[in-house]
Structures are given as C-alpha cells and as structure tokens.
Structure 1
C-alpha cells in the first residue's frame, strides 16, 4: 500500500474519531433531578413459577429454557422515593412482548395487546410510563405476553426519574447512534444526488450509486436497531425496517465486491452471490406473504453474513498481495473492510450477550459500529474525490492529445487536418460563409538570408497578427509552410476587405518597427453564394485562385518571377 493511499485511510479514520468525540462532548448531559436505575430486587413470575429478588439484567438465570411464544412474564417491585420529580415517569424497554403496567393493581399503561391477539409482529419499544405524584412506596407491576420465540435473555434496567431527564438521558446514551445514523442518511442522499448530477463525467458511477444507497441503508439500520426511529413511527414498523436493512447488507456487499474486484472465477462468485442475495429475498417473502416474522429467520442472516465477510477478507488479502485493483477500488475496498469488520464485532457482541450472557460495555459497542459506518462513508467520499481528480486529469490529457493532433506546432493555430475537417463540416450548413486563402510573401528569401529561425519568427509574428485581426469565433489555420486559411462562418455581418486591410496595416507596423525584412501577404477570398450548389472545397479553390492572381500581380509590379 503506497503512502498516499495509507494517508487517505488514516485521514478517514481520524475524521470519524474526531467527529464522534466532538459531538459527544457537545451533547453532554447532566440531569436536573435524581434518576434511579431499578435493576435488582424484582419479583418475577414466568407462567406459574415465581422468583424473588431477581436482577432483571440477568433474568436468564431463572429460565429453565428459552421463553416461548405466548409465555406470560410478570415482574413487580416497590418504587423508591426519588424526591420531588417534575412529571415522574418509568422508562422500560420491552422486546417482542406486550406490556401492561399496574400501580397497586390499577392499570395505568397498556401496549400491543391488539397486535398480539391478531398474531401481528411486535417489536422492541421504549416505553415512557407516567406515574402519579404519590408513586413512592407503591408497587409497580409489568405483565408481558411473549410474541416471539426467545424474545430476550436479559432486560435493561427500568429507569425512574422526571420525564425530561429520562428522555434526555436516553438521547445522550444513544447520541453516537443518532449522530451517525442521521449523518449517513443525509450523506447518502446528498452523495446520491451529486453522483446522479455527475453521472456522465464520473467513471465507475454504478459503484458510487450503490455506495450512496448503502450508506442510507446503514443509517436506517442503526437508527432502527437502537430504537431511535420509534420516536417518529410505530415500533413494529421500526423493527421491520431494522431487519430489512440488516438483511440487505449482504447483497450490497456482494454487488460492491463484483463491481470493484478483478474476479478470476466469475462463475463460482456469481453462484455464491446469487445464493447470498436470494436468502434475504426469501426472508422478505416469508415475512410479508406467509407471516413468518423476519426475526425468526435471523440465523440465516448470520450464516449468510459470515460467508460474505469471508469473501471480503479473501479479496482484501488478495489485493494486498497482488495490488490488482485501481486506487479508487482500493479505497472502496478499505471502506467495505472497515464497515464489515465493525459489523462482525457487533455480531460477536450480540452472541456474547445473548448466548454467553456476557455484559457488553454499551458505549464501546455503539462506538465501534458508529466508527465503522462513518469510516465507510468517508471512504465513499474519498473515492468520489479520487474519481473526480482522475477524471479531470484524463480529460485534460485528452484535450492535450487532441490539441497536439489538430494544432500546428509552431503557431498553435489549427493544422491542415483540422482545416480539412472544418471545411467538410461547412457542407452540412445552409449559412453563407467566406473562405480566405493567405500566402506569406518572401518567406524563402528570409530563410536563405537570415536563417530558419528568422523564418520561423516571421511565421509566428504573422500568426499573432492573424489572431488579433480575426476574432475567436473565426477559424484560423496554417495549412502549409507559408500557407494560411481563414473561415468566417457568418460572413453576412463581416466586412472582409476591411479585415484584410487591417491585417496588412498591422504587418506594415511590424515592418516599421523591425525593418530588417519586409512582411507582406497575398490574399484571396470567396463566398459560398458565389459557388451555388458546390462544396466548400470548390469555394476554397476559388479563394486560392484569387490569392494566386493577386500574388502574380504583386510580382509583376515588382518585376519578379513568381515562385510556383
């Protein structure tokens, strides 16, 4: 990996870390009142079995097995006195269950019972349950009916405090996710619009488009995975978005790999990719057509995702060994590796907490996945900038090559090949035009007496006079050693004789300033209307004939033989 490429990757990581750190500092939080975490001391009943003094963050310890659909879980505790609270609330996060909340056997809150009765999907929900002012010393009871197999093995602590403090604390605890998620949505949308705007000038535009949509999908997944979208929509819809966007990650990775990699065995790769992309499609069909909830097929995603991650690792090490992809593709590959690595760590944390019941430090978990997503986005941006730079350089090189092909090396005017092309294009127009044939007088004597450098200067001085006399909208070319051509496409508004007179006057000024030799030209011009029904070549021949007639007269007046 060269230093420039390494610098880009390091810069992307640095930007991601700085952005997250600064925003966490800005969004710091200090509660105005007391906030109490209720995690221990609960009484819990599961169906007909009752347990005392349970830590709900380790509720798996009292399970005989996994919770099954339709199980009934009830848990209760006496509320402590948190002092004077403005708008006291309980915050509780349920997972794939209904929720009924009682204070001293009086129902004060209910969620999901209708959906549960209808067999609909019940997602993860943040509940903010308003308490009476005299809540202290009363018993709060949560009753839940399980809507999915194995909905949870632990629960987050129930939070008691004033509503503004509890809500702000929840926002603060998830500010990394909120910032990253909304940034990815905004970045992906803006990047998509920019990419579509430059679709004709940016190579590998398909990869850039896929990357922008992938960024938006990442943002939606983050916001729904940590229940941020539930502030704006129904919880079941949020959970569906979570699984749809999560399952779509694998197809995105397969498509991006196909676009940026040099794949040797394409047949084998396409078979693997088709299977990998078909799995989430089948999961969507099972959910929306047959009512088999997306969460029920989560194991398929885990297997599919690990296979996809293995492919990314394979191609990454292949790129490092062979260096067989472009700088642009290498940047995108780095972004893909960064995100998928963070996603695998996130998956390992999930297995550790659900299967091994290992407590994971939440800021670490959220920080790793946030940095992985932002790093992917920064690599997309770096890739776009590299594409723009390479496109600009290629365009500049093409213009330079085109100029070399059609420009006269001495005068920088158009050459004979370009003039032939311009003459041919005149046949496709209906406008009147004028062709001026110009021949330098006395170039050979200047070369013989003063040398070819002086002759070249004579030619270049005349080219400047020609450029100053005729505007930028007029075609000017050097078609031979001392032969020049001018084409005026809109001759109806131009006084050609006056322009030729001004050109001769400019040459006379040069003769007065530099009298070592005399500069002059012979000219002849013709209009299209003088050759009705004939091609531009015939018009040029008429102009050339008139030029030679003028040259002959000039030589006769000077008593010189005309050089053919």
Structure 2
C-alpha cells in the first residue's frame, strides 16, 4: 500500500496538468555572462557550469550581460548567505543583505523578484555578489527573466512535490495532534501520537523552509532561514525521543545521554548565534557528524531488540502477527538510505534548481521522500501496535476466561474464587452452598442427569444472587457466593428465595429434584476478618444444615 500510494503521487504530480507550467514564457539566463573575480574576467560563461570553489567572506563576484528587456518584465534570482547589488545600465536598481553583512549578522536566503523599469530595448544587467560566509556557495544560482506571475507559477510548478510533502506532513501533524487531545480526554495513552505530531510538524516546516516555499507566502527572510537550521538541528532530538518512547529499556543510559546532548547542542548553537560568536549555519557539519554517531550506536541494538522481541512474541500465545516495530524500523532505514542518497547526489552534481525544467524527477528530493515514507510507516506502526495489543488482550481474556470459568455452568471456578479471595478485604459475607443428593443422582441416574441438576441449580443461583459480588462453583456439588456490605436479613431473604425457586422448579421437573444446604458467615464474626476463617465458619454452618436435611 505504501509503494502504491507513493507511485500514485508520483504519477499525479508528474502529469501534464502540473508540468504544463509557464516555462515557455520565462527564460533562464544561463549563458553569455561575463564574470569578474579577483581582477580577472571570464567571458561567455555558463552559470550552470561555473564553479565558485573556495571562497572567503567578503569576497565579491560580479556577473554582467546585455540582454533585451521587454515591457513589464521581472528578474528573479536566489541568494543564500550572500549580499547582492543589481545594476541596470550602471545604475543601482536593487540591493539586499548589505546591512547584515556590515553588522556581521547572518545574511538570510531570499528569492528576489525585481520589476525592470527601463523601456523596452537592450540593457546591461550587472549583479555583484558579496559572500557573507566562508565557502558559502559552490555555484551561482540561476537567474530567470519573464513576467512576475509566470515566474511565481514556475516556482510552484517546480516545487510541487516538496509542497505536497510539506503540506501532507503539516496536515498529518494537525490530525495527530487532534487525535492526541481526544485520547487524553478519554484517559488513554497519547504520548506516542503527540510525539509523532510534533515530529511531523518539524519535518513539514523543514521542507517548506528548505525549499523557500515560505518566502513566497510571507516576507520574513530571517525567520524562514533560521527555521530551516533550527528544524534541522532538532531532528536528532526528535528521532531519539521517538526511539526512546518505543524502547526505553534498550541501552537506556546511552539513549538518555544522546537525548541530553540533542537538547543541549541546539541551545548552545542558538546562544552562539545570537551572541554573534558563530553563525548558526556553521554547525551543520557538527550536527551531521552527531547524527551519524547516534545512528551507528543506536541502530544495531535497536535491530537486535526488535528481532528478539519478535521471537518472544512468536513463542507467546497472545500474538499472531508481525511486530509493529518492524514497520517503524523499515521507515527509519528508508529515510536513512534516501538521506544518504540525496547527500551523495548533491556532492556529485551540486546543481542548482532550474525552474524551467518541468519534468518530474529533477524536482524530487530523496530526503523529503524519505521523510514522507517514515511518517507513513509511523502511522502504520501506531495502528498496528494498537491492533496487536487489542488482539493480545482479547486472546488473553479468552484464555483467562477458559482458565477461570467452570465449563459446565459458566460460573467462576475454584481458581478464580481463590484469586478473588486473595484481594477480599473490608466487610463481606461468604455463603457456602452444597447441592443435595448429587452423588446419589450420579450413581443411579448417570452423570448426564447429574450435570443437568448442576446446571439447573447454577441458573437459580444466578437469579437469586444476581446482586452478589461473586458466584463460583468450587467443586462437584459445592458453590460459593460473596456479598459485600450486606446484613443478615438480606442473607435470610436470599435463602428463602432460593428455597422458593427450587420448590417451583421441582414442581415442574419430571426427572430431578433440587435441594441445597446453605451456610453463611460475616467477616466481622471472626477475629481479623481473614477470608479463610470466614469461609470455614460458613462451611461449618452449611454442614450443620446438611445434617438436618439428611437427618
């Protein structure tokens, strides 16, 4: 089902309705640039092939080209950790990031859309990039030209998969959060649902911020740039909390240590950033190394623990299906594999997005696809885990019912009676009953008739003592009833009612006749109120009545 769902999504978002964007109305200004760097000039440069390489903070790269500018046209480009100046025919037309650069602050990433005001004709376009960080970028981002509405539409078309994944994760988070509130109000465990809701929201925000989708919704450049890094730095914490909530006893000290580290590190990073000591983007590699270490330490014991748990479940008489942890482990491994593949692809190709490419696969981010798979697996895990527990509880109750129920009458048996007595305290009354002449009936009329006699007597007991706290058959002809907080008058009334109903049964029965001896005792009649002593006293009184019946 998971593969089918993802396949359908790929086919739908790769359809003509999504890919027929306005790429024919915009152009990517890739070739024909002159690049000025360190006093050197490179002519007829293609931006997609130009590699910046090692670069220092404050270093400038200027690109220039003369193009035909039609009326109502817009220039769009992306900057990340860079200040930029746009000059049209030698006059400053747009500037971004200078204040942050001069104050030593983080220059947020931004999609700049500049409406070109010159009259239609040939104009010189010059962009000067000032690097805000060491090695802040490996390439110059593509520069697009066209009408503003077409440019925005092309951006949405290119990022359609990311928008779907991000929206799915955010909506999914809201649904899980609503479910956790409902479970909390019904006093059921909701901690894993709440953790899943938080993690899904974290992933959704990261997808939106990473792909600059939030910038097209709002204009808070610094907030959206910070959100990307904060979400990324909180992912190890989210993963460690999820794993700890599922297997808290697995390498407990190590898991708690990692959780502590994952809490402390983001706080330290934020403090360093806001104190101006180290920008938040400089810690990405540290978090990446920490992720790898945690995975190498936790994943092998986690796999062994899940496999061992499955073996135990297979030997148990309560479980019949695959353990739900396997689904979560599968999602975690898939996300890990897809993340590594995405990192490998970026390190090899290091290409910037080209919005004019409307094919499906160039816009697929394997990391985001891995996130989607993980959250779907988490959904399957939670419900499979719930189903397994409900099935186990049902089977357990059935087996306990078989173990504690008298097969002939459906009443509780001696084992259940002993278990009940072990937890019996306070004021109570024990009634001991013995079915008269059962041995005689078995010997002369057969055990089938004797069983019929027992069943008939048990049904009468259930009617007479319907308000009791327990009715049990403790032997062949022995029965016990327990009342809590009942007085002697009610006990006598029940005994009389029992006699009346047996007489009424005997009047209509052709083959058997019911009779019983009854004795009862109260817990306050014996010192300490121990159930053994109360039962012994009730049993003695029952035998006294039995002697009268047989006398």
Shift of 1:147: 0.5
Q: How much has 1:51 moved relative to structure 2?
A: 3.8
Which residue is 1:558 aligned to? none
Change (3 A) 1:493 1:334: farther
Structure 2 residue 357 is the aligned partner of structure 1 residue 337: no
| Distance apart, 1:287 and its partner CA | 3.8
Q: Is the 8 A contact 1:424 1:536 kept in 2?
A: no
Q: Distance in 1 between matches of 2:49 and 2:352?
A: 8
1:99 & 1:494 partners in 2: Cα distance? 97
Partner of 1:53: 44
Runs of 5+ unmatched residues, structure 1: 1-10, 556-560
Offset of 1:114 from its aligned partner?
1.6
Equivalent residue, structure 1, for 2:343: 347
CA contact (8 A) 1:208 1:380 kept: no
Aligned pair 1:234/2:220, yes or no? yes
Distance verdict in 2 for CA 1:27–1:69, change over 3 Å: farther
Residue of structure 2 in register with 1:243 after alignment = 229
1:479 aligns with 2:471: no
CA–CA distance in structure 2, aligned partners of residues 210 and 261 of structure 1: 14
> Matched residue of 1:484: which SS?
strand
2:136 matched residue in structure 1 = 151
| SS of structure 2 residue aligned to 1:291 | coil
- Mapping for residues 277-426 of structure 1, pairs under 5 Å: 286-289=272-275, 291-305=277-291, 323-324=307-308, 326=310, 327-354=323-350, 363-364=361-362, 366-404=364-402, 406-419=404-417, 422=420
8 Å CA contact retained: 1:79, 1:135: no
CA distance in 1, matches of 2:161, 2:353: 22
Question: Which aligned pairs between 1:514-553 and structure 2 lie closer than 5 A?
Answer: 514-525=509-520, 531=525, 535=529, 537=531, 544=539, 547-548=542-543, 550-553=545-548
The answer on whether the counterparts of 1:45 and 1:74 sit within 8 Å (CA) in structure 2 is yes
After TM superposition, give the deviation of residue 58 of structure 1 in Å.
2.6
Q: Deviations over 1:266-322 (max 9, x none)?
A: 999999999999887775565455622233344445555555666688679x869x9
Shift of residue 216, structure 1, vs aligned partner: 3.8
After the TM superposition, which residues 493-532 of structure 1 pair with which residues of structure 2 at under 5 Å, given as runs?
A: 499-500=494-495, 502-508=497-503, 510-525=505-520, 531=525
Distance 2:441 2:75 in 1: 101
Aligned to 1:448: 443
Residue number among 451, 454, 475 corresponding to 1:459 in the alignment: 454
* 8 A Cα contact 1:12 1:378, kept in partner: yes
Cα distance change on mapping 1:518 and 1:82 into 2, 3 Å: farther
Q: 1:523 to 1:261 in 2, by over 3 A?
A: closer
**Residue 96 (structure 1) shift:** 1.1
Q: 1:28 aligns to what SS in structure 2?
A: helix
Point out the more displaced range, 27-36 or 240-249: 27-36
1:91 — aligned with what?
76
Q: Given the superposition, is the C-alpha separation of residues 264 and 532 from structure 1 closer, same or farther in structure 2, using an over 3 Å criterion? A: closer
State the partner residue of 1:14.
4
State whether structure 2 residue 110 is matched by structure 1 residue 125: yes
Distance in 2, matches of 1:456 and 1:483, equals 13
User: Do 1:91 and 1:160's aligned partners in 2 also have CA atoms closer than 8 Å?
Assistant: yes
The change in CA–CA distance for 1:289 and 1:426 in structure 2 (over 3 A counts) is same
Change in CA separation of 1:384 and 1:136 when aligned onto 2, cut-off 3 Å: farther
| Alignment counterpart, residue 173 of structure 1, candidates 158, 172, 183 | 158
Paired position in structure 1 for 2:94: 109
Instruction: Give the conservation status (yes or no) of the 8 Å contact 2:79–2:110.
Output: yes
Q: Residue by residue, what CA displacement relative to the aligned partner does 1:223-242 show, whole Å, maximum 9, x if unpaired?
A: 22212233346333333332
TM-score, with length taken from structure 2: 0.78
Does the CA contact (< 8 Å) of 2:158 and 2:363 recur in 1?
Answer: no
Q: CA deviation at 1:70?
A: 1.0
2:429 touches 2:523 (CA, 8 Å); kept in 1?
yes
Q: Which residue of 1 aligns with 2:314?
A: none
Distance in 1 between residues matched to 2:198 and 2:137, nearest whole Å? 32
In structure 2, relative to structure 1, the CA distance for the partners of 1:195 and 1:337 (3 Å cut) is: farther
One of 483, 487, 509 as aligned partner of 1:488: 483
Q: Distance in 2 between matches of 1:306 and 1:547?
A: 75
Distance in 2 of aligned mates of 1:190 and 1:376 = 16
Q: How many residues align?
A: 531
Secondary structure of the residue that 1:454 maps to in structure 2?
A: helix
* Contact 2:519–2:538 (CA under 8 A) maintained in structure 1: yes
d(CA) in 1 for partners of 2:373 and 2:488? 61
Distance 1:183 1:521 in 2: 70
Q: TM-score, normalised by structure 1?
A: 0.77
State the shift of 1:161 in Å. Answer: 3.1
Q: Assess, with a 3 A threshold, how the Cα gap between structure 1 residues 547 and 383 changes in structure 2: closer, same or farther.
A: same
Conservation of the 8 A alpha-carbon contact between 2:14 and 2:360:
no
* Alpha-carbon distance change, 402 to 325 in structure 1, aligned in 2, over 3 angstroms: closer
Any unmatched runs of 5+ in structure 2?
311-322
State the 1:409 CA deviation: 4.1
Cα distance 1:291–1:16, how it changes in 2: closer, same or farther (>3 A)?
A: farther
Match of 1:74 among 62, 73, 76: 62
| Post-superposition CA distance 1:490-523 (Å, at most 9, x none) | 5479965565555445444544554112123233
Render the CA deviation track for 1:444-469: whole Å, top value 9, x for unaligned: 11111122333233222322232234
Question: Higher mean Cα deviation, 98-107 or 306-315?
Answer: 306-315
